[in-house]
Amino acid sequence: MKTLIKNCHLISPDLDIEKAAVLIDGKFIAGVYTDGETLPPADNTVDAEGKMVVPGFIDVHCHGRSGYDFTDAIQEGMNAIGIDKLKEGVTTLLPTTLTLPEEQLKPAMKTVAEYVKQGVKGSRIAGVHLEGPYINSKCCGAQNPAFVRSPDIDEVKRLDAISKVAKVSFAIEVAGGYAFVRDLLAAGITPSCVHSSATYADFKKANALGLKNLSHFCNQMTPLHHRDIGLVGAGLLHDEVFIELICDKVHISPDMIKLIFKIKGPEKIMLITDAMCAAGLKDGEYNLGGLPVIVNDGAARLASNGALAGSTLLFYKGLKNIYEITGMPLKELIKTTSWNQARSLGLDNLGKIEPGFYADILILNDDFSPEKVFVDGEIRL
C-alpha cells in the first residue's frame, strides 16, 4: 500500500521545504519530492494543504495521561494512554515508572507487554523507562521515599524479562551507582542520572564509564554553582550528553529555557512531558505513586509540601513553547522532538522524514496540534 502526502511544508532535522511531497510504501518512507518534480502514483493521496509535516514525536519520559498512570497496572489504562498520546503527536513512547516496590512494578510491566502483544493502534512502545527506585533519598521530589533502594541490576533484568527496559534514571553517587552504569550498558540499557546530589567530580566518573544522559534537566539535580558546576553545569559543558527538558514553563522558566538552548544548542536536547495522570484532564485532585497531588492552573504539585509532581504538558505544546521562547528555526528545533531521542536510545530509522525511515509522520496545525498522525505508515488519528 502506497500513500502520498502532497502540499507539505516539510520540516525535518536540517530540512525546511515548502510544497514538498512524501511517498509512503508500507511502513516506510519511500521518497521525498520537491516542488516541480513529477509525483509518483499512489493508492491513497493525502493533501496536507500547506501545513507543517514533521517526524512523529518520541516521548521518552511519560508516567501517564487521561486519568491513568502506567504503574496503576490497569490494562485499560495502559491502552488509553498509548492511544491518547497520539493526540499530542507522540508516535513512539517510553512508559515511565515510579519509585515503587518490585511487586508493583512487575504487573505494570505486564500491561506494557500486553499492549504490544495486542497490537494496540496507539503510540509505538520502544521500551520502558524506569525512573527510580535507585535514587538519592534526599532528592526524592515527588517520588515516594519509602521505596528508595540501592541499584540492583538483577531486579532490572527481572523486569526486562517481562517487558523491554530501554532506560533507567538513577542517582550515580549512591552506593553501587558507578558499577550500575557499566551493568546497564552491558545489558543494552541507556543509563541516565536524576534525583541526585552528585558533584561534578561524581559525574565525570560516571561519564567516563559511559553515562551520557541526564533526565528532567535542572529538576532534582545539583544546580550550577561557581565552585562546583554540578549536574546542571555538566549537562551544559559536555557536548556529548543528552538532556531531557520539560518545557511547560513551570518546571523551567522561559529565561532558563532560552539560556539552555543558547549554550547547549538543539543537538542534544530532548523534549519530554514527564506527564502524570492528569495530563489531558482538568485541574483537580489526583494521585502519583500513592501520593496525593493537586493540579491548579495545569501545574501538578504534591498536596503535602507543594513539590512539583510531574507535569500535565501535552507534547506538541512543548514544541510550541520553545519555538516562541527561542525564535530558532523549526528545522533546528525539530531535532529535540524525536531525532535526539532516537539517537540517545539507539533507535534506528526514527526521527527524520527521509527514505528508509519509518513512516511516523505528523501533519500539524498552525498551533502545532496534530491534524493527522501516521504510525508505521498508517493513519491512526
pLDDT at 381: 97
pLDDT at 290: 86
pLDDT at 77: 98
Check if the beta carbon of residue 281 is closer than 8 Å to that of residue 66. Answer: yes
Whole-structure pTM value: 0.98
Among the listed residues 274, 283, 348, 360, the single catalytic one is 274
* Per-residue pLDDT tens digits of the chain, which is 381 residues long: 999 999 999 999 999 999 999 999 999 999 999 999 999 999 999 999 999 999 999 999 999 999 999 999 999 999 999 999 999 999 999 999 999 999 999 999 999 999 999 999 999 999 999 999 999 999 999 999 999 999 999 999 999 999 999 999 999 999 999 999 999 999 999 999 999 999 999 999 999 999 999 999 999 999 999 999 999 999 999 999 999 999 999 999 999 999 999 999 999 999 999 999 999 999 999 999 888 999 999 999 999 999 999 999 999 999 999 999 999 999 999 999 999 999 999 999 999 999 999 999 999 999 999 999 999 999 999
pLDDT at 289: 87
pLDDT at 305: 93
- In order of their start, the domains of the chain are 2-54+354-379 (2.30.40.10), 57-345 (3.20.20.140)
Active-site residue, 154 included: no
The contacts found for 43-47 with CB under 8 angstroms, 24 or more apart, are: 43/1, 43/2, 43/3, 44/1, 44/2, 44/3, 44/4, 45/3, 45/4, 45/5, 45/6, 46/3, 46/4, 46/5, 46/6, 46/363, 46/372, 46/379, 47/6, 47/7
